[in-house]
Amino acid sequence: KQEVTQIPAALSVPEGENLVLNCSFTDSAIYNLQWFRQDPGKGLTSLLLIQSSQREQTSGRLNASLDKSSGRSTLYIAASQPGDSATYLCAVDSSNTGKLIFGQGTTLQVKP
């Protein structure tokens, strides 16, 4: 059974720092991995999707990497800003049905 874990659960950094969020999954047979952002009381916003054949994806200050064989993904945020404060979730699609298995998230606080 696929399980997704995110470390750390919470992270607080000063503005301008580069940071890395970690995601691990137990079954390497995945179709893709997605990173989402969740603001309090809001839905999930898709940030990046990495296909199983890809190693990384970039969007602006965000870079996500995928190492399927070791069951790991990282989300790198460059030059963090207070507006980046949110909970970041990773999720894997292991079944090719759009059924995503989510981690518990990392809550990020960027202090001005």
Partner 1 sequence: EPEVTQTPSHQVTQMGQEVILRCVPISNHLYFYWYRQILGQKVEFLVSFYNNEISEKSEIFDDQFSVERPDGSNFTLKIRSTKLEDSAMYFCASSVLRLDSPLHFGNGTRLTVT
Return residues touching partner 1 (CB under 8 A): 31-32, 34, 36, 41-46, 49, 51, 89, 91, 93, 95-105
Measure CA 16 to chain center: 19
Nearer to partner 1, 15 or 39 (CB): 39
> Strands 86-93, 106-111: parallel, antiparallel or unpaired by DSSP?
antiparallel
Nearer to partner 1, 13 or 52 (CB): 52
Q: How far is the CB of 66 from partner 1 (least distance, A)?
A: 13
Nearer to partner 1, 42 or 61 (CB): 42
Strands (E), the chain: 4-7, 10-14, 19-25, 32-38, 44-51, 56-59, 62-67, 72-77, 86-93, 100-102, 106-111
Q: How far is the CB of 45 from partner 1 (least distance, A)?
A: 7
Q: How far is the CB of 100 from partner 1 (least distance, A)?
A: 6
Q: How far is the CB of 13 from partner 1 (least distance, A)?
A: 23
Which one-letter amino acid corresponds to residue 92? V
Nearer to partner 1, 34 or 80 (CB): 34
What span, in angstroms and rounded, lies between the C-alpha atoms of 79 and 62?
A: 10
